[in-house]
Structure 1
Amino acid sequence: MVRKIGWMIASAVMAAMLLLPSAAFLADEPAADEPAAERTAAPGAAQAPNGFVDDLNGFGMAYQRGNLYTESGTPAYYGNDANRAVRSTTSTGYVVYKTDYDMTSFAVYSYFFTGVTVVPHRIFASVDGTAYAEAEANVYTSGEPASNWQLYAFEGLSLPAGTRYLKIEFAGDEKSWTPQLAKVVINRNTVSVTASPNTGVIGSEPISVSLQTPSVGAAVYYRTNADPVFKPYAEPLSLTGFTKLDAYAQLDGMEPSPIRGYTFFSQADMQIDRYGQVIGASFAAKVTSDEQLRHDVSVDRAYYGSLRKPADFDGLGGLAGSRKPLKLKATGFFSVQQVKGKPQLVTPQGNVYFSMGVNGITNNETYTKVTGTTDRQKIFEWVPDFNGEYNGAFIGSKDNFSYFMANKYRKAGEMPTFNQFFAEATDRIKKWGFNGIGAWTPSPQAQASGMPYTLVLPLNGMAKPAELKVFDIFADGAAQAIDAAFANALPALKDDPNLIGYFVDNEYAYEKFISTVPRLKASTTGLKKRLVQMLQEKYGDIAAFNAGWNTAFAGFSDLNETPLYIDTQQASDDVDQFFRLYLDTYYGTVKQLFEKYDPNHLLLGDRWLTLPMQSTKIRGILAEEAGKHMDVISINHYSPNLDTAMLKDVYEKSGHRPILLSEWSYGTAEQGLAPIVPGSAATEQDRGWRYRNYVEGAAALGFVVGAHWFDYVDQAAGGRYFQGIGGEHYNTGLVNVADRPYKTFLDAAMKTNKSVYDVLLGKKQPFYHDFGDTPGGGEGKNLQIEIPYTSEPIPIDGVLNGYAGEAGSLTLTAENLASGTGGEGITGDYHLAWDENNLYLTALVKEPTPMMNGYQNGNLWKGDGIELFTGPGELALGGSLQFSDRQLIISAAAVNGTNYWQWFNTGHQPAITMNVQPTGDGLGYVLDAAIPWTSLNIDPANGREFLFDAGFDDSEDGINRARQWVWNGTSKDNLDRGLWGLAKLVGEPAP
């Protein structure tokens, strides 16, 4: 029998990750009532040598240690091991073991967080404890990861003769808390199992796999596809489908070997081919052989050799010879000057400059995670050996691989350096008519390129509450931290004439500021502390505050740790005032400290997201406050159409600050990637026309100073690696994963890039292709519905029942499609009723991929679900949502019997009663909900009217919303209550 292992892994996912299953998990073990016994020694087994096992429950077995302490938190991530050795700081740490006998072998088990670069342990051996030499070790992952923590095993089998000291070194300067050392075995380790072959692709014939260990007499055990049972190995295995094979060996009197995994792929499971392309996608430029890639070399040479940058560009991409006719000044740096009465960028030499930059001129987003769970691994047709010829296409470890870089290697026969990649990319974009480098490009290369470029201020790692992605300018020492960061980063580039300026960080969640900040804690955020201080300064007396906010606090100190909710108009006005105070303080501090270290370059704003820009109130506050301090307003404006009304509003309210469209793009689904703006482009030609509409439409406004495309190369089909499994995988590139340019799209882009100055100066009308959609997102339909009274509560059982006839019903069809394309035949039938306590809603949604929603938070709208909008007051008032308005999204996916919903435009998350069930044919679902009137801020009564709208979201994968249907409004219902319809409660309650 196999003896019991001292500490076990309880999680099914983590089973067999660090130590092996107990005897009960082995197929040949005795029944529960059979007495336990030690397994007899296998024939040929050697007597166990001197040695030990250290489970790191402290450092009592260690001889020396440095910069290490014992960590015991979140043991579920570490196979339920409650004690691991961890560094105190990011400096090198170590632990040394000493014996009075020779060490001959070791096994070291350590957990690494896969979200940062994995820096393996280095292990050193010594005879005398003075002179150390690095010991050879086989390193491999063991078992499945848990919450981004992966167990690695380091196995050394032949230490130098006379070794009495073993040193395990910790390195890596990103995070001190990774790795976490869990177990050390000296001289008592059974050697791990090898498989022959160690991988392979299974087609129509099975693969025969044999298992072996160098430990003579050891028993070998295996399991397939995370089966909880490890079986004794007796003869070669015949594998017929995708198989994740785990195996270990056990020698009597010794520790079991680490569990070692091998993967055998099935052709039928693969989703991404050896070139990084989606197998199920068919497109003209798809690569099917290495020979095609090698042929691309001559094709590319001819194509790029035929291109020339626009003839009217000066050396920086400005309009050559425009200084004198436009009466501009050469200041030696990029500046903002008036051109035809509106602000525009001007080159250091004095020529007008419309910035057509490219974001992300880097290969970073082409890397994807190729390791992990069985389901993850089997989607790839081919992943090369980490230590083989494709090593240069990995980043950091064997976990993350770039098929783009592998294809570059196949083309050229050598792996390009990043500098070579960058030089080639910038040469290409110049020929396509782009004239600058946007954000997310490494600064040394951008600086050396000779092109105009932009950078992002070093604020990203500072003072941001976990609940809200904004810089906490009121945190203790925030201004000092900014000063130190600027002092370190800015002076070196302050005299560079090609640097346009700096963005002030990126995409803050300003749309959440007003509802989230009052619910923070003053003990952890300066934002809440300063808000309480402002309220105390304003009201002075707590009674006055309570009256205005409808609260009952005994003193202002009680506000510090207590969530505050915006339930009155006064509260709404106060938090709006604090939002202004925050922005003025933040922007003002950044401006003052920026000019201290760099008086020459422009502040380009903080790259606002499209979502807060669609709210007239939020964008108005942002524009007014940023306009006091920023030289340029920057907006990451992803939209099917250029929202000119929004841009004009920001321009006016900012005091006529110029606007830079700092990030945007369009994509298609032709190559199997996700389109970054769903429904905007069906083909590459559409993509080109959207580009022309966007850039020329922006230039024609006169106050937009540039449009920066995102990005140079498509994101990886498997998702960009730093977001793990499920990362962004958008068709955003100018070239694809095979380094093949999108020539049809680029032909259109070049026409715009070469004529943009004629459009800017009014010499040419902007290009416009009518796609048949509405640039502003559409208008409301002014629909009305009467909701009948019910004397009996509607059953919440996931069945359409309890309603009287067709009263209070509505149907959503193709005419109600508010965003996305396709979805033919998808419908939503709604039934509504009311009583004194609840608004009842039952929706029958018919669609082919029902109940797909992978979220349990504010992203519910991305998956299948029902949307509801209500506004109790000011029925004739449109624009931004009032504090009493409500948006509710109810998920159509129940996870382990648990239902999910999310309230928006409020910090409150009151309960509802709901049920969701699939239809009998599996082609839809029924969702019931009873929604308390108190949560809607509505007093129900016969004849009561309120603003109302309803819709549903459709996802085909549970991750991305493909389409949205809305009864009365458009895709902008969450931002403009004027788009909603009207509901009226009818029927008298029973006496």
Structure 2
Amino acid sequence: MSDSQATSKNDVIIDNFATETLSSSIKALNAQVALVNGVFPTSALKISFKTNTLRSGISIKPQSPWQIENLVNYAFKFDVKNTGNNPVMLTADVTGANGQTQRRSIGLDVGETAKAYFDLAGFGLDADFGMRDLPPSFKSDERKMIVRGGKKTIDFSQVFSVKLYTETQINANEVVVDNLRIASTGEPNTEFLTKIVDKFGQRADIDFPLKVKSESELRKIAAKELKELSEMQPWPERSQFGGWKQGPKLAATGYFRTEKVGDKWAMVDPEGYLYFSTGIANARMSNTSTFTGIDYKDDSVRYIDPNDVTPEDSQGIGGDYREAQKTHYVSNATRRNMFEWLPDYDSDLAEHYGYRRKSHRGPIKHGEVYSFYQANLERRYGESSPRSYLEKWREVTLDRMQHWGFTSFGNWTDPMFYDNTQVPYFANGWIIGDFKKVSSGADFWGAMPDPFDPEFVRRAKVTTKVIAEEIKNSPWCVGVFIDNEMSWGGEGKPISRYGIVIDALSRNAQDSPTKAEFVRLLKNKYKSITQLSDTWQRDITSWQALADGVNYKKQQDYNQNMLADFSWLLEAYADEYFRVVKNAIKTYMPNHMYMGARFTSWNTSPEARWAAKKHVDVMSYNYYREGLDELTWGFLKDLDMPTIIGEFHFGSDDTGNPHPGIILASSQQGRAAMYKNYMATVIDNPTLVGAHWFQYIDSPITGRAHDGENYNVGFVTTTDIPYPPLVEAAQEVNRNLYQRRFGQ
């Protein structure tokens, strides 16, 4: 038996594929499976994944659950090799007691072999440290699988099933797996989170090629890049706005617009050239800060102006906290001990402290934050005048975008770029305020607005007016995104798809403008309450009873007539939301395109997109997969609207971020390869008019203050050093962009 297959007497063997035939407990899920030799020392299982399916892989479910005895800290483990022709993200589901399932994933480069493990029981697994995932708590040459969909507290003393699969593959691929087992992970290091961040915001306990060792080294790297940027040449086929100067020239309006050219949708730049938006989102300081584990007793720092139009996670870094800092205390010792260094309050780098008045999720609800990234900018460029390093950062970032071949910034561009005349950008805003809300039942980022509330209408105007004042009617503004990843309701059970309607129906019409509108619509459609009651097969005694509230949240026997009305009401709700926002944008920014609210693929009902079609200039989606597949995106043909991808990314754990990101690669080279594959599916889709990578800067290792994201998804590190493989991949894609999209 090989070292990789060595087992202890306490290990639980799931399958080592030692027999000539597959176990009856293994079921193929839209995949082909076969026993093979020659990959691992003994027989192993090859899984050939299919495209055009949501999931492809295997399921293993024994007749009775695997009992985990005599193991204290343990994991699901297996050996795996990517024998396909593309990088692959392999996901595992492990189901424990009460039918609860945890998901984890691993990214594998072409030809890569790994020993993977999926934590089931161990030190710190159930604790919330304000990070999406953690570094390993023990030393091992095995690869840790990364949490997907959030950590759960699950009893894995019994394991009922295991699945291994890929999701919506765009290219046929395959892996070989062997030695599936549940085995010990050894003795944990209870101090595994102590002093893991150095003074540059990097992982202190590991090395990687771009790691900076000193301030002089950081300045030397910066000087070299500045010289390269000063020598860059313009892209000859591009117009001043990044359009295709060598292509056909259409009507010029002085602003960006859309037009269908042949069978392909396109944007058109202010000079009339065909334009395709490739870019990077979130080029700003707002999400570079992390909680320090310190809070202030001074309550004044937590005051939030009810008239503010900027959400907490979009607030900048810095401010005068000198008085509040006198009241500082340790609010979370674990987080405080994660840092090797934080500056004294009277030191030069103390201006990079800030304060978050509230967080979206995590153990810290509010507290002091620090931006290592912003501090590193001061180290790189110095400070000849107050915050001059930010002006230098702005200049360098603009030059990088052009040098890397991007035609725009993406969403959440810092307003400091709004007056630039080098790189087009997208403006952004959120409609926040004290207006009524409804719930879809899956409100990850928060409850949904009530668009029939006059206060929502007013706040929409307030937000868009502020954006208009910031962009000053600039032709360099491509369009405006408002809100993001809202919970419109997804496919599946009625309570999932029509949660907004079902929730509104449960409310009193006196307190809910949406409910009042639904009652009005139903009264207009049905001649009497008896007709409505009979059609829905529900005992509704009067219109007043309907107005007072009918709660169907726990019911499942919705008839087709009822579901048809739910669909109609949901579209009416969505239509009002997009109508209100469109009217506000066109009132204050008539020359700029409305880019929608950046739908998700998993939480956007068809009713929402059909309502949006009536009002937006460009549909927008955030889509985190290896690329655009026909199964998920076939609806675009019927929708026939110009559409843009607002977010996608690929991350790795080889530079120290404990969580690579939503879609995983195994290395920086893997990120680059996956970027090119993804962009090819976007450029080749006749409906798509652009795609924006999320995000410009790596997340803090200890998690961004808003929600703990600690992803390696930047084009640049926390020390503001570009990742060469990713930059080269972007330049390759952008060099051939227009010829591939519009050439013959």
TM bin (shorter chain): 0.5 to 0.7
> Matches of 1:623 and 1:643 in 2, distance apart?
18
DSSP-derived class of the 2:354 partner: coil
Distance 2:376 2:390 in 1: 15
Classify the secondary structure of the residue corresponding to 1:428. helix
- Give yes or no for contact 2:256–2:475 (8 Å, CA) kept in 1: yes
Aligned in 2, Cα 1:529/1:513: closer, same or farther, shift over 3 Å? farther
SS at 1:760's partner residue? helix
Point out which structure has higher relative CO (alpha carbons under 8 A, 6+ apart): 2
Partner AA of 2:352 in structure 1: A
1:433, distance to aligned residue in structure 2 (A): 0.8
Q: CA deviation at 1:731?
A: 1.3
Q: Which has the higher helix share?
A: 2
Separation in structure 2 between the aligned mates of residue 299 and residue 464 of structure 1, nearest angstrom: 53
Structure 2 distance, partners of 1:445, 1:493, is: 9
Of the candidates 733, 736, 739, which is equivalent to residue 752 of structure 1? Answer: 733
Secondary structure of 1:447 counterpart: coil
2:372 aligned to which of 383, 394, 403: 403
Q: What displacement does 1:707 show? A: 0.7
Distance 1:675 1:502, change over 3 A: same
Give 2:615's aligned residue.
Answer: 629
Deviation at 1:380, TM superposition (A): 1.1
Given the alignment of the two structures, is residue 501 of structure 1 paired with residue 479 of structure 2, yes or no? yes
Specify the code of the residue in structure 2 equivalent to 1:542: I
Letter paired with 1:362: R
- Opposite residue 649 of structure 2, the aligned amino acid is S
Q: How far does residue 630 in structure 1 lie from its aligned partner after superposition?
A: 1.5
- Of 451, 457, 481, the match for 1:479: 457
- Tell me how far apart the structure 1 counterparts of residues 512 and 205 of structure 2 sit (CA, whole Å): 48
- Corresponding position: 1:714 with 2:698: yes
Residue 978 of structure 1 corresponds to none
Measured against aligned partners, the alpha-carbon deviations of 1:668-718 in whole angstroms (never above 9, x if no partner) come to: 111232556545311111111111112222111222111111111111111
Q: CA deviation at 1:454?
A: 1.2
Shift in Å, 1:493: 4.5
Say if 2:517 is the partner of 1:545. no
Q: Map Cα deviations across residues 116-173 of structure 1 (whole Å, 9 max, x no partner).
A: xxxxxxxxxxxxxxxxxxxxxxxxxxxxxxx99xxxxxxxxxxxxxxxxxxxxxxxxx
1:470·1:509 contact (CA, 8 Å) conserved in 2?
A: yes
CA contact (8 A) 1:642 1:698 kept: yes
Residues 86-125 of structure 1 aligned to structure 2 (within 5 Å) = none
Given that 1:665 and 1:676 are in contact with CA atoms closer than 8 Å, whether structure 2 keeps it comes out as: no
**Residue 642 of structure 1: aligned partner:** 628
CA deviation map 1:653-682 (0-9, x unaligned): 32x211111122111111232556545311
Q: 1: CA distance between counterparts of 2:602 and 2:436?
A: 20
For residues 179-229 of structure 1, what are the alpha-carbon distances to aligned partners after superposition, in whole Å with 9 as ceiling and x for unaligned?
A: xxxxxxxxxxxxxxxxxxxxxxxxxxxxxxxxxxxxxxxxxxxxxxxxxxx
What's the counterpart of residue 771 of structure 1?
A: none
Aligned to 1:503, the other structure's residue is in SS state strand
Partners of 1:528 and 1:268 in 2: CA distance: 49
Indicate yes or no: 2:289 matched with 1:367: yes
Structure-1 residue corresponding to 2:274: 352
Deviation of the 1:303 alpha carbon: 4.3
Structure 2, unmatched stretches of 5+, are 1-127, 130-189, 294-330, 357-366, 490-495
Tell me if structure 2 keeps the 8 A contact 1:368–1:718: yes
Q: Tell me how far apart the structure 1 counterparts of residues 579 and 731 of structure 2 sit (CA, whole Å).
A: 39
- 2:695–2:714 contact (8 Å) kept in structure 1: yes
Identical-pair percentage:
26
Question: Is the 1:518–1:528 Cα contact (8 Å) retained in structure 2?
Answer: no
Name the counterpart of 1:739: 720
Post-superposition offset of 1:608: 0.4
Distance verdict in 2 for CA 1:679–1:648, change over 3 Å: closer
Aligned to 2:522: 535
Following TM superposition, by how much is the alpha carbon of 1:645 offset from its aligned partner in structure 2, in angstroms? 4.0
Out of 579, 588, 594, the position equivalent to 1:603 is: 594
Whole-Å separation in 1 of the counterparts to 2:679 and 2:263: 20
CA distance in 1, matches of 2:469, 2:259: 25
Matched, 1:580 2:568: no
Report if the CA contact (8 A) 1:494-1:600 is conserved: no
1:508-907 alignment to 2 at 5 Å?
A: 508-511=486-489, 514-520=498-504, 521-522=507-508, 523-559=510-546, 560-565=548-553, 567-569=557-559, 570-612=561-603, 618=605, 620-650=606-636, 652-654=637-639, 656-673=640-657, 677-678=661-662, 680-723=664-707, 727-763=708-744
Structure 1 CA distance, aligned partners of 2:713 and 2:291? 19
2:408 aligned partner:
436
Provide the C-alpha distance between the structure 2 equivalents of 1:391 and 1:518, rounded to a whole number of angstroms: 50
- Return closer, same or farther for 1:288/1:639 CA change in 2, 3 Å cut-off: same
- C-alpha separation in 1, matches of 2:650 and 2:192: 32
TM-score, normalization: structure 1? 0.46
Contact 1:323 1:329 in 2 (8 A): no
Q: How big is the shift at 1:524?
A: 3.9
- 2:342 corresponds to 1:342: no
Quick check: 1:667–1:731 contact (8 Å CA) kept in 2? yes
Cα shift at 1:761: 1.5
Match for 1:568: what amino acid? Y
- 2-structure distance, mates of 1:476, 1:548: 32
Q: What is the DSSP-based 3-state SS (H/G/I as helix, E as strand, rest coil) of the residue aligned with 1:507?
A: coil
Partner of 2:254: 332
> Where does structure 1 differ by over 6 angstroms across 4 or more consecutive aligned residues?
265-268
**Partners of 1:661 and 1:392 in 2: CA distance:** 36
Counterpart secondary structure, 1:399: strand
Counterpart for residue 278 of structure 1: 203
Shift in alpha-carbon separation, 1:500–1:543, aligned structure 2, 3 A: same
- 1:507 and 1:407 map into 2 onto residues whose CA distance is 31
- Matched residue of 1:691: which SS? helix
Cα distance in structure 2, aligned partners of 1:432 and 1:554: 66
Partner of 2:218: 293
Shift of 1:370: 0.6
Q: Distance in 1 between matches of 2:663 and 2:408?
A: 28
> How many aligned positions are there?
488
Q: Is residue 626–residue 677 contact of structure 2 (8 Å, CA) maintained in 1?
A: no
The alpha-carbon distance between structure 1 residues 517 and 674, as it changes in their structure 2 partners (threshold 3 A), is farther
1:895 corresponds in structure 2 to none
Return the offset for 1:404. Answer: 1.5
Instruction: Tell me which residue corresponds to 1:490.
Output: 468
Distance 2:663 2:254 in 1: 44
**What amino acid maps onto 1:684 in structure 2?**
Q
CA contact (8 A) 1:331 1:350 kept: yes
Q: Find the aligned partners of 2:448 and 2:660 in 1 and give their Cα distance.
A: 24
RMSD of equivalent CA atoms:
2.8
Quick one: which amino acid aligns to residue 655 of structure 2?
Q
**What amino acid is the match of 1:712?**
Y
Report the equivalent of 2:352.
Answer: 393
Conservation of the 8 A alpha-carbon contact between 1:519 and 1:562: no
SS at match of 2:690: strand
2:284 is paired with a residue of what secondary structure? coil
CA distance in 1 between counterparts of 2:655 and 2:265 reads: 40
SS of residue paired to 1:590: helix
Distance 2:700 2:597 in 1: 27
Residue 286 of structure 1 aligns to which amino acid in structure 2?
K
How big is each residue's C-alpha offset from its partner over 1:86-120, in whole Å with a ceiling of 9 and x where there is no partner? xxxxxxxxxxxxxxxxxxxxxxxxxxxxxxxxxxx
Q: Which runs of 5+ in 1 are unaligned?
A: 1-146, 149-264, 764-991
